[in-house]
Amino acid sequence: MRSVFRSSVRPDAGGHHRVVWVLAQCLPFAIAVLVVVIELTPLHVVYTGPLLTATPALAAVTMGPRGTMAAAGFALVVSVITATYNQAWGTQQVYTNILALLLVSVASITTSRAARTRSENALNQIRRIAVAAQEVLLRPVPARIGPLRASSMYLAAETGAQIGGDLYEAVETRYGVRLIVGDVRGKGLPAVRAAAAVLGAFREAVHYQEDLVDVMDHCAAALERERWSPGVDPDARVEGFVTALVVQVPRESVIEVVNRGHPPPLVLHHGRAEALMPASPLPPLGLEELMTRPSKGKAESYPFSPGDRLLLHTDGVIEARNSDDDFFVLPDAMEAVRGSSPEEFLEELHQALLRHTSGCLADDVAMVIIERVER
């Protein structure tokens, strides 16, 4: 399994918060420029020493050690320039201001370094916890499973996160290789709990439920129990549904698919990518009440020959947009990939997705690819 960890030590980089953050970082330099304006004009009668002394301390609040050093250096240069311009060298006031500036600068840089170290240690600890939790929830897909070569990738859109509402699994059973990919509506802990419930039910049912539809129904029942368990927010019960896709790959050159409201998988056959659209669309797990009449549904079969590749993915892939608000065209991207192994294939697809979005994903992305090997 490949996982990309997106993290930063800065706060949320979007919208109003980003503007405020940038303005706060510019404030120390703006104060130093203001001091220059005052000292080089008739306004120099105003005492500006405390203003320059405060700039390193202000920089330490919003910038790291390097930014704090830059602000302190800029303030020192301004102090030297203004003292020279005003011919104030030799006065006690100038030396007092410079000494105070140096002391505050050293203290600010030291404080900034200590804060950076604490933040990095805390972030590293969160990363280790997230990696351990991800290994439990999203276990690595083996590189070889039954008659298949496989690979998987998970990209978290949220800064500093590795686990979201996307889910996937691949299990070899007596019925063949069975896979699931799904996407929980919503974010945060409720989404993770829903994903864990569906994955747990799938891992149990795939070994004793012969009918693929029964496997999906088992996942739906587990989600329903999770939704109505004690402590679940009533709003989460209403909104918490899961789009899911279950695939079975037997020894024969076919695949069987049960789709519950999930984006259809794509099969790559002789260089052409084709979506496996369901003949009878069914609602996502948790929205069974939307059915006009009860319908058990059935698995749909499609050809899957040696050399073919099947890509399972979540909607974070096909709904990714570029700066012109154009969607990512997944079939075209698949046909352009030349990766020889499934892992290389996903890596090239990942790079194409990042180029399309300029590295800014709006939603989590999960992809699993399987390839039937020659007999």
What pLDDT is attached to residue 230? 64
Most distant pair of Cα atoms in the chain: their distance? 94
62, pLDDT greater than 70: yes
339-365 pLDDT, tens per residue? 789 999 999 999 999 999 988 887 888
For residue 239, the number of C-alpha atoms closer than 13 Å in the C-beta half-sphere is: 10
What is the mean pLDDT of the segment spanning 276-304? 82
Which has the minimum average pLDDT: 86-100, 197-211, 270-284, 287-301? 287-301
The two tokens of residue 59 are 């920089």
Q: Indicate left, alpha or beta for 161 from its phi (over 0: left) and psi (-120 to 50: alpha).
A: beta
Instruction: Decide which of 165 and 252 is more confident.
Output: 252
What is the mean pLDDT of the segment spanning 179-205? 87
148-164 pLDDT, tens per residue? 999 999 887 665 555 56
Q: Which residues contact 324 (CB under 8 A, 6 or more apart)?
A: none
8, pLDDT greater than 60: no
262, pLDDT greater than 80: yes
Q: Indicate left, alpha or beta for 137 from its phi (over 0: left) and psi (-120 to 50: alpha).
A: alpha
87, pLDDT greater than 60: yes
Phi then psi for residue 141, to 5 deg, are -80, 125
65, pLDDT greater than 70: yes
The two tokens of residue 187 are 């974010």
11, pLDDT greater than 50: no
What pLDDT is attached to residue 166? 87
Could you tell me the CA-to-CA distances from 328 to 275, 318, 323, 325, 338 in Å, in that order?
A: 15, 5, 11, 10, 18
126-142 pLDDT, tens per residue? 777 666 666 667 788 99
pLDDT band at 34 (very low <50, low <70, confident <90, very high): confident
Share of the chain above pLDDT 90, in %: 40
Of the ranges 132-136, 246-250, 288-292, which is most confident? 246-250
Q: How far is CA 180 from the centre of its chain?
A: 20
Q: Which residues contact 363 (CB under 8 A, 6 or more apart)?
A: 157, 314, 315, 316, 319, 320
pLDDT band at 83 (very low <50, low <70, confident <90, very high): confident
Distance between CA atoms of 313 and 1, rounded to whole angstroms? Answer: 14
The DSSP line for 203-222 is: HHHTTT--SHHHHHHHHHHH
What pLDDT is attached to residue 261? 92
What pLDDT is attached to residue 20? 81
What is the mean pLDDT of the segment spanning 284-300? 76
Share of the chain above pLDDT 70, in %: 84
pLDDT band at 13 (very low <50, low <70, confident <90, very high): very low
pLDDT band at 45 (very low <50, low <70, confident <90, very high): low
Which has the minimum average pLDDT: 248-262, 288-302, 324-338? 288-302
Instruction: Decide which of 235 and 250 is more confident.
Output: 250
Instruction: Decide which of 103 and 1 is more confident.
Output: 103
Cβ contact 371:337 at 8 Å = no
Give the three-state DSSP class for 238: helix
